[in-house]
Every structure is written in structure tokens, then in C-alpha cells.
């Protein structure tokens, strides 16, 4: 997700002259205190399941996130709706999987419902309160700025650590060596990472930032082989705090300039060359995004064949592996003006536009290829397939969209009401960081001004799209105390459904917020030995993590977040 940030250059010396902050508690130290404060009083006892159960009928788990896929989308496409496909299902492969799966109608993602916290929940069993991940771009009051200013303007400088404590944290494409390249220019540039003043100003990688362990770490420690494919190099956080959880990670940069993909049929040249210029990314085209996702699908097919993700080397078929799809998310929100195409929905019932329909059909066909490959390799009967989404998308109802200020220049996002986004450093403006999509997360550089800032926002609710304002006690019902936890926003604005904060009109929906459309996502757990069933009560996507371990014969309590939050295995599954 891209968030507001000013590129302010040449300020480092001026801010240093203003005066350095006294070094406070580090991210790791404070995180440990918070984690320990929430741990069960007794120490975790290993119950002896340190190795996978070789006699279990489930030897592999394939986890798929169709980013943006609502429960409503799955209901419509698996049963058919309106005149689409003559009223027949338009996701036939998913519909077939549902015949031997448990379909959870009320599955909710964590708040905020964005890609980072959404995936973190699925692989740790924990919410943001425990895992400490709010967004791919956020703020940490215990860390120092990077050694170099990032391409999107997170202020950096060699002398800013340990002189300044409190910084914007970017774990999106801006930390790539070169985010314009499909391979990120070679991965993550440590000079763009926040630094830990308590550890000699060492760079903090995404996996260092995660406060709890992941299913990949547990499975690998038990002798399993693991793989994951996602949209940025920064998704290496899936390896967990140890940095060793994923054996085979693949993270092609989704915000790179689209290029021909010779190994992907129909994608050399790209089908939409007009959206493959130096100013474009893969997400700017309904057609090109399918090429990008297919590039990742090939990694899964290679892994099923017993190869590494690129197909070049031999490897075990992963015990735990998977990927995300971006196509449906693009189909839900993109306006491709040059071709006269608009994604999203036609009505409040979730009838897809032609553009979104094409993306759903594409993803369905791709998953069908994975299932066919599992069957051809004799692996289908021993593989549990879990299909969900990191987040939803809001609004479904096309009549509710209100882009602030794009649709009404008299309106303002919350950060603008408070004076605009600053540099992220003390003395560089009140708003240290603002994540503003269909929610506004605000970190203040001076927390003593929280009450006055809330009062100002409340007095201007008509300007910011109404909704709810969370701070102090109301905020602490959801997250840790921002005066104690250095990563928690001081103020959160959850505007009316349909409000998104953007100055452009390239999107008709967004995610990251608290709305039901943001959070109610598809969740299907499938195995050929299961009977078709539907579970209508509420569950949460964080329950995916303990369910995976249970299926593989491992104790869910091997996950720290599961022990802290008492996260339960998904109900109604015949797991033994």
C-alpha cells in the first residue's frame, strides 16, 4: 500500500541542530516486555511433537490467499448469480473444491485489514496486538531512521542513528535495491531499513520486526520443507524472527515496471503494452496483472513437481507452501481509463463488473491447474488446501465510494486536518506517519497533543468522512497502549463505509480499514477426505495458523501468538 509521505531532503543537519532525542527503549526491548506481559504464567512445555506425523493422511498444506476475495465473492461465483455464465458457477474449480471442504461464511481478517497484518495473522495465529505489525509502512518510536533516505521519502542519514529515536518504517517496495526491477534489483537494501539504536544501529529487516514465530519456523524445525511466494521481497518476514523459516522464498516486485515474461504463455509481449511504460506497475492493468500472477503460479507448479520455485533445482515437495494472488484485488478497484475499463461491482449484491469477473475466472483456472498438478503427482490425497484472503475490499456497493479529496476538494484526510504529514522525526511536524486508505492511522511525534488532535478531528468530522475516532481507552480495547508499545498509532479514524483517502480517481475501492467489506473474506478448507459442510458462525483468519499445525500433527501451542491469544483451531474439521 502506498501512503502519504513528503520527500523532504536536506533536513538532517537542521534537525540534528534542533537537538537529538534521548535514547528510549528499543523496539526489541519494549516488544519483549509486551510479549512477556501477555504470555501465560507457565512456561511452554514441549509435548513431544517435534517431528511431523509420518502416518498422518495430511503430509502437505497448500495455503492460498486470493487478496480481496470476499466471502460474498465466493458465494456468488460458486453458486452463480444473475445472467453471468447463464446463472451457473463462474469459479467451477473453487466450487468443486467446496464439495469436499468446509466453507466458513463469517471469516474475519484482523484490524487493520491490510496485506501485512492479514498474512501475519494467517501464519502466526496472532492479531496486530501481539504480532506488532500494523501496515507495510508504519512508525516505531523505538527505532532510528535508515542510513539513506528511501525512494518514497523516509528521511535517512548516516548520523541519524542513534541521534534520533522514532522513525517511519517502510517495508514496502521502497526498501528494494531497485523497486523498478522485477527482482527488486537484487532484494532488500539494508541502507533503506530502520535501525535499532540498542544494537549498534543494525538494520531491522521485516523478519526482525515480527514479534512472534511463524508456522514456517515450526514446520521447518520439525523437519519439514517450506516455501512461500508473494508480491514484495519484504515478505521475507514469513521466515519469522529467526529468519530461517522459509526454505524457498520468492518475492517478485509487484510495483516494478512490467516487462515481457517469456516463460509465461501470452505474456511476451505483454497483452497490455500501453500499461507497461516506465511510469506503470503491474497493478495498473487488468491484463498484465494476470501475467504477473501466472509468473508466481509457475513457482507453485514447480514446487509440486519437486523443484525449486524457478524450476532449476531439485527439492522436496514442500510440507507447507503457498502464494498470494493479486488479480482479484486489482479487479475490484482499478480504473483503467486508457481502455475505458472500470473494475469493482455493479450493485450492493456483489455482481462483478466484466473486469472483475475476468480476474475471478483467471484465479479460479490457476487454482485448477494447481489441483490438477497435485493429482497428476499423486499428492492430492495427502494435501490440505486452504484458500482465504489477507484482506477484503471496500466498498462493495459502487454507490458508496467517496474519494477524499479527489471527489470533493473541500474535504480533507485526517492528516491534513492536523497540519499534514511531517518528516517523521521530532521537530519535523506533528504527524509522524499517516497510513490513509479507507482508514487513517496516525502516529504523532508529540503524544501530549493526542487529546487536542482528537478534539480537532471530531470538530471537523464532516471534512474527514465521518465515522469513528479511536484513541486512548477506545483504542486500547483493540491494541496495546501507544504510550507503552512504540508501534501503536495514537489515533485511528475509521470513516464511513465507502470513504477512501486519495487524491486520484484510479481506484473505486480500497482496503486496510475496519469495515465489514474490508474484513469478511473467503475461507475454504479442503481435503478429498472431507465432507462438504458450511460453518455459519464467526471465525477469524488467524485460526488458519493453528489449524495448519494440527493438520500436520504438530501442536498449535508451538506458536507463541496462539499461546498468548488462545487462538483456536478452526471448527468442524475432521482433524486427528
The pLDDT value recorded for residue 3 is: 40
pLDDT tier for residue 46 given thresholds of 50, 70 and 90: very low
State the Cα–Cα distance between residues 258 and 268, nearest whole angstrom: 11
pLDDT tier for residue 219 given thresholds of 50, 70 and 90: very high
- DSSP-derived 3-state class of residue 253: coil
Q: Is the pLDDT of residue 84 over 60?
A: yes
The pLDDT value recorded for residue 24 is: 33
Q: How does pLDDT run across 123-138, given as a tens digit for each residue?
A: 999 999 999 999 999 9
What is the DSSP code string of 55-115? TSS--EEEEEEETT-BHHHHHHHHH--TTGGGGS-S-HHHHHHHTTEEEEEEEEPPSS-SH
The strand pairing partners of 257, in sequence order, are none
State the Cα–Cα distance between residues 209 and 132, nearest whole angstrom: 8
Inter-residue contact 177 to 186 (CB < 8 Å): yes
> Which residues make Cβ contacts (< 8 Å) with residue 29, sequence separation at least 6?
142, 198
The pLDDT value recorded for residue 128 is: 97
Is 437 or 3 the better-scoring residue by pLDDT? 437
State the Cα–Cα distance between residues 471 and 514, nearest whole angstrom: 15
Query: What does each C-alpha distance from 138 to 168, 179, 415 come to in angstroms?
Result: 6, 19, 14
User: Percentage of residues in the chain with pLDDT exceeding 90?
Assistant: 89
Q: Is the pLDDT of residue 36 over 50?
A: no
Average pLDDT over residues 73-97: 96
Closest CA to 108 of 98, 116, 118: 118
Average pLDDT over the chain reads 92
State the Cα–Cα distance between residues 297 and 196, nearest whole angstrom: 36
Q: Is the pLDDT of residue 28 over 50?
A: no
Q: How does pLDDT run across 413-445, given as a tens digit for each residue?
A: 999 999 999 999 888 999 999 999 999 999 999
pLDDT tier for residue 469 given thresholds of 50, 70 and 90: very high
- DSSP-derived 3-state class of residue 443: strand
Q: How does pLDDT run across 498-532, given as a tens digit for each residue?
A: 999 999 999 999 999 999 999 999 999 999 999 99
Average pLDDT over residues 331-345: 97
Q: How does pLDDT run across 377-411, given as a tens digit for each residue?
A: 999 999 999 999 999 999 999 999 999 999 999 99
Q: How does pLDDT run across 154-189, given as a tens digit for each residue?
A: 999 999 999 999 999 999 999 999 999 999 999 999
**The three three-digit cell numbers of residue 310, written as one number:** 524457478
The pLDDT value recorded for residue 56 is: 73
pLDDT tier for residue 228 given thresholds of 50, 70 and 90: very high
The pLDDT value recorded for residue 82 is: 85
Amino acid at each position: 500500500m502506498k501512503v502519504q509521505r513528503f520527500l523532504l531532503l536536506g533536513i538532517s543537519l537542521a534537525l540534528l541542530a534542533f537537538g537529538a532525542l534521548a535514547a528510549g527503549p528499543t523496539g526489541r526491548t519494549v516488544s519483549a516486555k509486551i510479549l512477556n506481559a501477555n504470555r501465560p504464567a507457565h512456561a511452554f512445555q514441549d509435548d513431544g511433537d517435534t517431528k511431523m506425523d509420518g502416518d498422518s493422511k495430511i503430509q502437505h498444506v497448500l495455503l492460498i490467499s486470493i487478496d480481496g476475495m470476499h466471502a460474498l465473492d465466493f458465494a456468488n461465483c460458486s453458486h452463480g448469480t444473475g445472467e453471468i455464465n447463464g446463472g451457473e458457477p463462474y469459479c467451477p474449480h473453487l466450487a468443486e473444491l467446496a464439495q469436499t471442504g468446509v466453507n466458513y461464511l463469517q471469516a474475519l481478517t484482523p484490524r487493520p485489514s491490510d496485506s501485512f497484518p492479514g498474512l501475519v495473522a494467517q501464519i502466526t495465529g496472532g492479531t496486530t496486538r501481539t504480532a506488532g505489525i500494523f501496515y507495510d509502512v508504519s512508525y516505531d518510536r523505538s527505532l532510528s531512521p535508515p542510513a539513506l533516505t528511501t525512494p518514497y521519502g523516509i528521511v535517512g542519514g548516516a548520523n541519524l542513528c542513534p541521534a534520533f529515536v522514532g522513525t517511519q518504517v517502510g517495508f514496502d517496495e521502497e526498501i528494494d535495491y531497485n523497486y523498478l526491477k522485477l527482482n527488486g534489483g537484487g532484494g532488500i537494501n539494508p541502507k533503506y531499513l530502520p535501525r535499532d539504536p540498542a544494537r549498534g544501529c543494525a538494520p531491522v529487516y521485516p523478519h526482525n520486526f515480527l514479534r512472534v514465530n511463524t508456522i514456517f519456523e515450526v514446520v521447518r524445525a520439525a523437519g519439514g520443507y517450506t516455501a512461500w511466494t508473494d508480491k514484495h521481497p519484504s515478505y521475507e518476514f514469513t521466515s519469522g524472527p529467526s529468519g530461517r523459516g522459509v526454505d524457498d522464498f520468492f518475492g517478485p516486485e509487484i510495483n516494478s515496471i512490467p516487462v515481457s515474461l517469456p516463460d509465461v504463455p501470452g505474456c511476451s509481449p505483454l497483452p497490455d503494452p500501453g500499461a507497461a511504460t516506465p511510469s506503470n506497475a503491474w497493478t495498473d492493468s487488468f491484463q498484465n496483472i494476470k501475467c504477473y500472477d501466472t509468473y508466481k503460479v509457475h513457482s507453485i507448479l514447480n514446487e509440486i513437481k519437486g523443484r525449486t520455485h524457478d524450476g532449476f533445482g531439485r527439492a522436496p515437495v514442500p510440507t507447507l507452501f503457498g502464494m498470494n494472488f493479486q488479480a482479484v484485488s486489482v479487479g475490484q478497484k482499478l480504473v483503467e481509463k486508457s481502455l475505458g475499463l472500470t473494475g469493482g461491482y455493479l450493485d450492493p449484491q456483489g455482481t462483478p463488473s466484466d473486469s472483475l469477473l475476468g480476474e475471478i475466472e483467471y484465479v479460479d483456472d490457476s487454482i485448477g491447474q494447481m489441483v490438477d498438478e497435485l493429482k497428476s503427482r499423486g499428492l492430492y490425497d495427502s494435501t490440505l488446501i486452504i484458500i482465504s484472503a489477507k484482506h477484503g475490499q471496500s466498498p462493495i456497493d459502487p454507490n458508496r465510494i467517496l474519494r477524499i479529496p479527489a471527489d470533493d476538494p473541500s474535504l480533507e484526510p485526517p492528516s491534513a486536518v492536523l497540519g499534514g504529514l511531517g518528516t517523521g522525526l521530532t521537530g519535523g511536524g506533528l504527524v509522524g506517519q499517516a497510513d490513509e486508505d479507507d482508514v487513517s492511522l496516525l502516529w504523532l511525534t508529540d503524544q501530549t497533543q493526542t487529546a487536542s488532535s482528537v478534539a480537532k478531528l471530531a470538530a471537523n468530522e464532516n471534512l474527514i468522512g465521518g465515522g469513528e475516532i479511536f484513541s486512548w481507552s477506545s483504542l486500547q480495547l483493540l491494541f496495546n497502549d501507544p504510550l507503552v508499545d512504540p508501534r501503536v498509532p495514537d489515533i485511528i479514524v475509521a470513516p464511513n463505509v465507502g470513504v477512501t483517502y486519495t487524491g486520484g480517481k484510479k481506484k473505486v475501492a480500497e482496503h486496510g480499514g475496519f469495515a465489514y467489506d474490508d474484513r469478511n473474506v473467503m475461507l475454504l478448507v479442503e481435503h478429498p477426505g472431507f465432507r462438504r459442510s458450511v460453518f455459519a458462525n464467526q471465525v477469524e483468519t488467524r485460526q488458519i495458523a493453528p489449524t495448519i499445525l494440527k493438520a500436520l500433527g504438530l501442536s498449535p501451542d508451538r506458536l507463541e501468538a496462539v499461546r498468548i491469544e488462545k487462538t483456536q483451531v478452526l471448527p468442524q474439521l475432521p482433524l486427528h
